[in-house]
Chain A
Amino acid sequence: MTRPRDDFLSAHETPRILRLGPNLHAACFALMKLLPARFMLDRAEEDGRLAPGGHIVETSSGTFGLALALLAAVRGYGLTLVTASSLVDAAFVRRLEQLGARLLVVEDRAGSGAQAERLARLRALLAEQPEAFWPRQYDNPDNALSYARLAELALGALGRIDCLVGGVGSGGSLCGTARVLRCLFPALRVVAVDTHRSCLFGHRPGPRLLRGLGNSILPANLEHGLVDELHWVGALPAFAATRRLYRSQGLYRGPSSGAAWLVADWWARHNPGASVLVILPDEGHRYRDSLYDDAWLAGLKGWPPAEPPEPVALGRVRPGGEGDWTFLEWGGRSLSAVPGAWRRHRRRPGADQAG
């Protein structure tokens, strides 16, 4: 195995391990998705799924697309990203296009993310270019596998880890890290952070204000059986936490980092004897004109949210609004075993995972 000469990119994907409290540490990334993206491309290059000068296609509106664009530019691949009009702004589109990526923007007036339409466009692309490589971050097991590197760094710095807190979008970072840590510390508590109207843990999917976590489809990389405790954080408490994280720790992060830190900080304060690690995926520059703009926040319905934020304990899955923060003892159950959970595939009993 020969590694391509782009180790300079590893600085973006290597987290700093920061102490944020007496028993709370953060794995703080510049661009977390570069870690799985680089690993997936390495593996695809090794086994010939991606030939030199080949083409990559993916549906992404976020940092995974950015990571692919960086890699494609450095390694000399073509890249087509399918995205939705509701999910990208002009600055981000420019940032991707300057790296040579081609963007196909699907119209999405409803603001739902247009997952089904994006997948249809992607399949059409693959029909035209059958040799193109589709990384499939939601279902590619290499995504989760790549996070052993995060575990390596965290274990090297912290030794014993009792609790892992992280947001879930593809499931790769939280489940990939948790699986490794639990092999070494079987009593590890895994706390997942999702948001309302994401279907990952049983909400009916719908428009969401909070970006960077949650999903409208179920990725295979999400292993519900690994999760002990599940938090649904609405956009308002997440934005407020992101701003508080900036003020109190000097960390200018994206809202998924804020949501994860909100939960981790609360959990660590309630379990002072436990060593807690929280994953903070990326930086806040994309959100300069939204959650880092007071005027923008003031225009949100329900802003500012109640302080201090406290979660409401649930006994079953219940829908929530953007101002709510709820949690449920998940207990390693499958989605079908949790009362109140919405599932797309009710007509196919037992099918928890949309391929």
Chain B
Amino acid sequence: MPSPNDAIAGTSRPPLAVGTGTAMAHHGELLQGVFEGADGRLHRGLVTLPLPSLRARATFWPRRLGAIATRPARRSKAARAAALALAHLGFSGHGGELTLESEIPLGHGYGSSTADVIATLRAVAAAAGTSLRRATTARLAAAAEGASDAIAYGTQAVLFAQREGRMLELLGAELPPLVVVSLVSGQERAVDTLALAPARYDSGEIEFFRALRGLLRCAVERQDPWLLGRVATASARIGQRHLPKPRFEHALGLAREHGTCGLQVSHSGSLMGILLDGRGQDVAAQAAALVHEARRAGFGRAASFALGAEGVRLA
């Protein structure tokens, strides 16, 4: 593939400098299934629920020659991402040192690995004095990892083909304002998400995903967290048929009793999130009450976060 630098005739390429990049975590999916692409074929796809308050940070110290060493050691996906980004930007064969610092817990479905990879891609681009398009970032991330979440797109609502690293549909706006009460399902051990066999959906589920996609479009267009909550709950129920989470019904009961928008899950992790309307007057108090009750009910790590909910101050 021709590099952008090759395309600019007569310019001398400035040397690489130290570059940094960050990427956010996510809290699983608002929707996951299979969806028809523009080619008329079915693709595995998802809508990620971003978690902007937890971040990974990568710093890249370039070297003219040699391999890519990571700190902590053996972060092979991030090292692969750095090599892919260097090659894409016309620096094939360059190496360097990559330092990864992250607030994101491993496993459970927070997307810690994808955040490392995307922070790395951004750090290498910064080292080359440029930035990558989101589509390029997503594609390289999927190439480095085998699959990627949609966090290259930040809080933009996109239906994303995670195994191909490309967008299936740009929903045209940000996700509606939400406050999420985060619960970790019974199994507290980490999950190797990429080692899981992908769900085999039946034809009824595949057709049902079309309806969920329709309602998702309306939820995003109208910025309606209540419609989004219906989509997420229905998707979580289908996920439950394929990779059941302990205490799912319990979490759903909490979501219902508190009159919330619905429940989302991390389809390949152990996270569940009760979705509240981020525009609500007393949403912070409602979230605090839910966190309190969830902890008493045995969800020891219950906590809340806001997504696009302006002016909401959570306890």
Contacts and interface: CB of A to CB of B under 8 A. Distances in A.
B40 interface: yes
A152 B227 contact: no
B120 to A, nearest CB: 36
Interface in B76-97: none
A1 interface: yes
B204 interface: yes
Given A159-B227, A160-B227, A180 B218 contact: no
B41 interface: yes
A149 B36 CA distance: 11
Contacts of A149: 207, 210
A156 B42 contact: no
Interface in A134-166: 142, 145-146, 148-149, 151-160
A7 B39 CA distance: 11
A90 interface: no
Given A1-B41, A1-B42, A3-B40, A154 B203 contact: no
A183 interface: yes
B234 interface: yes
Interface string A177-199: 00011011100000000000000
B44 to A, nearest CB: 13
Nearest to A149: B210
Chain A interface residue bracket vs B: 20 to 34
Nearest to B209: A148
Determine the main DSSP class of A at the interface with B.
helix
B234 A183 contact: yes
B41 A184 contact: no
Interface in B30-50: 40-42
B144 to A, nearest CB: 29
A183 B214 contact: no
Contact of A146 (B207, B213, B218, B231): B207
Interface in B139-160: none
Contact of A155 (B40, B42, B204, B211): B211
B224 A148 contact: no
B214 A7 contact: no
Contact of B41 (A3, A142, A185): A3
Contacts of B219: 159
13 contacts: A3-B40, A145-B203, A145-B204, A148-B208, A149-B207, A152-B211, A152-B214, A154-B214, A156-B213, A156-B215, A181-B211, A184-B215, A184-B231
Interface of B: 40-42, 203-204, 207-208, 210-215, 217-219, 222, 224, 227, 230-231, 234
